[in-house]
Amino acid sequence: MTFKEFNFKNTLNQAIENAGFKEPSPIQKEAIPIILKGYDMIAQAQTGTGKTAAFGLPIIEMMSGDSGIETLVIVPTRELAMQVSDELFRFGKTAGLKTATVYGGTAYNRQIDRIKDANIIVATPGRLLDLLKSNKIKLNPKFVVLDEADEMLDMGFVDEIKKIFKYLPKDRQTLMFSATMPKQIKMLAQEILNSPKSVTVTKSERTNSDITQKFYVVSDYERDDALLRLIDYKNPTKSIIFCRTKKEVDRLSSYMTSQGFKVAGLHGDMEQKQRERTIKAFKEGLVDIFIATDVAARGLDVHDVSHVFNYHIPFDSESYVHRIGRTGRAGNKGEAITLVSPNELRTIKRIEKDVGAKMLSRVIPTRQEVQHRKDTNLLNQIAKTKITPSAIELVKELQHDIDIVTIAHLLASMVQKEVSVKGKEKIGLNREEIERLIKRSKYQKGRGRNRDSRRHRERRDRKSRKRRDSF
């Protein structure tokens, strides 16, 4: 199937072609026809599946382009607001549509001026509700999208969302997207949607098949060494390292910088302008490694991230899915690597079960293995290098004092310094140790179930005796 089969306007087809889109993703195939028919919709879809285009393209197709706000998109974070706004602007600019982004931390007046000229608003709940309650803006959109609804719930925005919808017209088409469907989200859907159609991504589709998922078992004190060794071995083009805390982001950023890497950190304590500059530097390739808390897991959209590293395993499965969804985007292959301590193996198995995907157990390569790979790559690089006239002149100059074999040895020694591998020979657990731990955790889990069953039988027997005694 191609996008042309949706029979979009020529201006929108041109925008799709300019964006480099070829075939619609599964969520786009299912959602676009439903939206074009005017139905309300609730869709369960993970980040990175192309859901912005899934709602953006059909809405832009149906927009008149007249003055005034026709579309409102509500998102949980500033980063996501900027990303969604940029994408909708790309789709709508050939039709002359304008977008405005509304979020906290910036001047009210500037945002209000942009809203006056816009056809599409992408807003975070807090700032949007402030503007509506203070009568600084009035909205009458035909289309309303609630994106990342479960994240809204996690961040405590559900009450704000309900208040926002009281300011919106009842005659509208409303679309809700959520990665998960907890009870409160279903109740919210009943409140704000009108006889919605449903689109659901099945469990087996929840993680991108283009992402290879691996985990390495290390002691806590080895995490820094393990991370450096894996970066040395994998040689990522662009990567993100996820941490649990702001303090960890700051410490690891300083450490990686001291090791010669081009890194940048991102967390919630940074000012908005600083966050925007940092994300822009990463997107433009001025930074190779991005170190972030989960604040970046939903809002960051960079298509050429080759690797995601979990410095610590996230606390829940949804965070894991959102983190690894930063790689393997737009049809590219990606790799997600998680560092775990021996007592976190149960968490690995739980996440595997929750997301319906297999995480492969691997061993940290030894220093010798990494050095061998680097030396092989260096030999290949030397063999493919073109000889320049200036290099010929340099060797001629050196030959006045040094023989040709010694020159070769000296140059090779200089080059090898650049690819030398640091650190101890072995890091983390070997395959046999990992397998023993996995077996032990399964055995302990089984014993736990047996204990629970025994307790259940004992409670049941006590209740039976009490009933008999009461007669």
Relative to beta strand 334-340, strand 307-310 is: parallel
Q: Residues near 218 by Cβ (< 8 Å), separated by ≥ 6?
A: 226, 339, 340, 341, 364, 427, 428, 429
Greater confidence (336 vs 182) lies with 336
Other CB atoms within 10 Å distance of the CB of residue 170 = 6
CA–CA separation, 261 vs 276, rounded Å? 21
CA–CA separation, 465 vs 471, rounded Å? 10
CA–CA separation, 328 vs 209, rounded Å? 8
Six token digits for residue 414: 């200089």
CA angle 300, 303, 307 (to 5 degrees): 85
CA–CA separation, 209 vs 198, rounded Å? 23
pLDDT band at 453 (very low <50, low <70, confident <90, very high): very low
Would the pLDDT of 176 be above 50? yes
CA–CA separation, 147 vs 55, rounded Å? 10
DSSP helix, strand, coil percent of the chain (3-state; round to 5) = 55, 15, 35
Domain boundaries, the chain: 3-201, 211-367, 371-418
Would the pLDDT of 298 be above 70? no
Architecture of domain 3-201: 3-Layer(aba) Sandwich (3.40)
Best CA proximity match to 146, nearest among 111, 211, 93, 196: 196
For 308-344, write each residue's pLDDT tens digit.
999 998 877 767 888 898 888 777 889 999 999 998 8
Please say whether the beta carbons of 392 and 245 come within 8 A: no
For 245-283, write each residue's pLDDT tens digit.
888 999 999 999 999 899 999 887 787 788 888 888 898
pLDDT band at 46 (very low <50, low <70, confident <90, very high): low
Greater confidence (464 vs 119) lies with 119
pTM surpassing 0.85?
Answer: no
Which pLDDT value is given to residue 455? 55
Selecting from 2.60.40.1170, 3.40.50.300, 3.30.479.10, 3.10.150.10, what CATH number does the domain 211-367 have? 3.40.50.300
Q: Using H for helix, E for strand and C for coil, what is the string for 390-414?
A: HHHHHHHHHCCCCCHHHHHHHHHHH
Q: Quick one: average pLDDT of 139-168?
A: 92
Would the pLDDT of 447 be above 60? no
Domains 3-201 and 211-367 share a fold: yes
Q: Quick one: average pLDDT of 48-76?
A: 90
Q: Strand order in 71-74's β-sheet?
A: 99-102, 120-123, 71-74, 143-146, 173-178, 41-44, 197-200
Element (H, E) at 240: strand 239-242
pLDDT band at 444 (very low <50, low <70, confident <90, very high): low
Q: Quick one: average pLDDT of 368-380?
A: 86
Q: How far is CA 254 from CA 119, 226, 238, 250, 258, in A?
A: 43, 17, 18, 6, 6
CA 104 to chain centre: 22
In order, the DSSP letters of 53-114 are HHHHHHHHHH----SS--EEEE-SSHHHHHHHHHHHHHHHGGGT--EEEE-TTS-HHHHHHH
Q: How far is CA 229 from CA 150, 195, 471, in A?
A: 36, 54, 71
Q: Which amino acid is at 256?
A: M
pLDDT band at 470 (very low <50, low <70, confident <90, very high): very low
pLDDT more than 70, % of the chain: 89
